[in-house]
Structure 1
Amino acid sequence: MLDSWAAIILAGGRGSRLDGVDKAGIEVGGRTLLAWTLDACIDASEVVVVGDVVPSERPVTFTRESPRFGGPVAALLTGVDALLRRPAYVGVLAVDMPNLSMGTMRRLTDAAEGGDGSVLVDPTGHRQLALVLRRDRLMEIRPSHEAQHAMALHRLLLPLSLVEVPAVGAEHRDIDTWSDLRDLEDS
């Protein structure tokens, strides 16, 4: 397992398919999505949440990407810039994946060690927004501030060789719509 990694939690989307509701504050099983995500990155040396401030029992740094709603690349890089330290690796997690766990992140950090990083893949092979990236390689491929806005994350990550880590159970499932939330609670 990596000795030093920091977590960047992406929580600043519009939530347009959820009628504009802030995903970080949505409750699943009596806890917010942010609380579930923070549990998954308990091993991180530091945590930055890119999104609006939501009450948290854990020490985290909150920040917003510029421009607001600039997309996942702008959010990721804003989160890296907000870190107090320069860890070797950064874990990147979407706030809307409540089935991610400490075990998920340990598998991702183990797979990333010594390389460019790792990414969680669902049963169909689709890459999910749960990754671990080598910070210095990320900085090498960092686009200009103007190019970050609305850039697709997969495009940013193209130059990196990422180890694909298969999802276990439902850890890859995210909540994009009210029906996703209902289906998750029914399962």
Structure 2
Amino acid sequence: MTAAIILAGGRASRLDGADKAAVEIGGRPLIDAAFAAVSGASPVIAVGPESVTRNGVTVVREDPPFGGPVAGIHAALGHLDTVGAPTETWLLACDLPRAELIVAQLHDVPIPEDADGVVLVDADGREQWLAGRYRVASLRASLDGLPDVRDVAVRRLLAPLNLHTVTDRIGATLDLDTWADVNSYRNQEDPV
């Protein structure tokens, strides 16, 4: 079985400190797009405040709170140790309104034997590390190589991994970081 880790513990400073996961798009909180995308995963772990609690989702908090996404991944993997041994996990940010399209593009793409994960690459050629599926053992090994997990950039954790990339041809990796992003997305005729 494949697990899922949804990162929702940030300060959302570019959203004036608003609860990014709760921002509504199409009448539902943004994080619910991520939860719908990974509905077949087990377990589903959300890293963030208790407000992201949903039926069938385990909520954990990075230590300390607001310690950054790498601290969040560390907390989520710590929980995976208590529930069994999934070999792969989705890793998604909570600000991806098209998360279901991310999972749809990568679901049937196997992680090659010599790779640590599979991620989408956006139209600008950037690997979208929080829009992918990873070997749990590779994430753990990369975490073990860090002296600390607090306030560590995702790049430092994931860039050393050997990732198989898939071009995102439909703009699924669009993320909503600012109110301008949110309002622009809401004003599209067909936002999904």
TM-score by length of 2: 0.88
Whether 1:29 and 2:26 are equivalent positions in the alignment is yes
Whether 1:5 and 2:6 are equivalent positions in the alignment is no
Contact 1:48 1:60 in 2 (8 A): yes
Contact 2:46 2:52 in 1 (8 A): no
Q: How far 1:184 sits from its partner (Å)?
A: 0.6
Match of 1:90 in 2: 89
Unpaired runs of 5+ residues, structure 2, are none
Q: How far 1:69 sits from its partner (Å)?
A: 1.0
Superposition CA RMSD, Å:
1.8
Name the aligned partner's letter for residue 93 of structure 2.
Answer: A
Q: How far 1:85 sits from its partner (Å)?
A: 2.2
Whether 1:117 and 2:120 are equivalent positions in the alignment is no
Name the aligned partner's letter for residue 127 of structure 2.
Answer: R
Identity of aligned residues (%): 39
SS in 2 for 1:147: coil
SS in 2 for 1:142: helix
How many angstroms apart in 2 are the aligned matches of 1:153 and 1:55? 22
Whether 1:43 and 2:40 are equivalent positions in the alignment is yes
Q: How far 1:57 sits from its partner (Å)?
A: 4.8
Whether 1:153 and 2:151 are equivalent positions in the alignment is no
Contact 1:11 1:51 in 2 (8 A): yes
SS in 2 for 1:48: strand
Name the aligned partner's letter for residue 105 of structure 2.
Answer: R
Contact 2:21 2:52 in 1 (8 A): no
Q: How far 1:111 sits from its partner (Å)?
A: 3.8
How many angstroms apart in 1 are the aligned matches of 2:55 and 2:171? 25
How many angstroms apart in 2 are the aligned matches of 1:26 and 1:49? 16
Name the aligned partner's letter for residue 163 of structure 2.
Answer: L
How many angstroms apart in 2 are the aligned matches of 1:119 and 1:174? 15
How many angstroms apart in 2 are the aligned matches of 1:161 and 1:94? 20
How many angstroms apart in 1 are the aligned matches of 2:166 and 2:89? 16
Match of 2:139 in 1: 138
Alignment of 1:58-97 (within 5 A): 58-83=55-80, 84-97=83-96
TM-score by length of 1: 0.90
How many angstroms apart in 1 are the aligned matches of 2:164 and 2:140? 19
Alignment of 1:15-26 (within 5 A): 15-26=12-23
Q: Select which of 96, 105, 129 maps to 1:107.
A: 105
Task: After superposition, give the CA deviation of every residue in 1:121-177 in whole Å (9 maximum; x if it has no partner).
Answer: 110111222121101122222247752111111111233110112113231111111
Contact 1:111 1:165 in 2 (8 A): no
Task: After superposition, give the CA deviation of every residue in 1:7-27 in whole Å (9 maximum; x if it has no partner).
Answer: 000000001111111111111
Unpaired runs of 5+ residues, structure 1, are none
Q: How far 1:90 sits from its partner (Å)?
A: 1.0
How many angstroms apart in 2 are the aligned matches of 1:117 and 1:182? 33
Q: How far 1:76 sits from its partner (Å)?
A: 0.9
How many angstroms apart in 1 are the aligned matches of 2:154 and 2:148? 12
Aligned length: 183
Name the aligned partner's letter for residue 104 of structure 1.
Answer: I
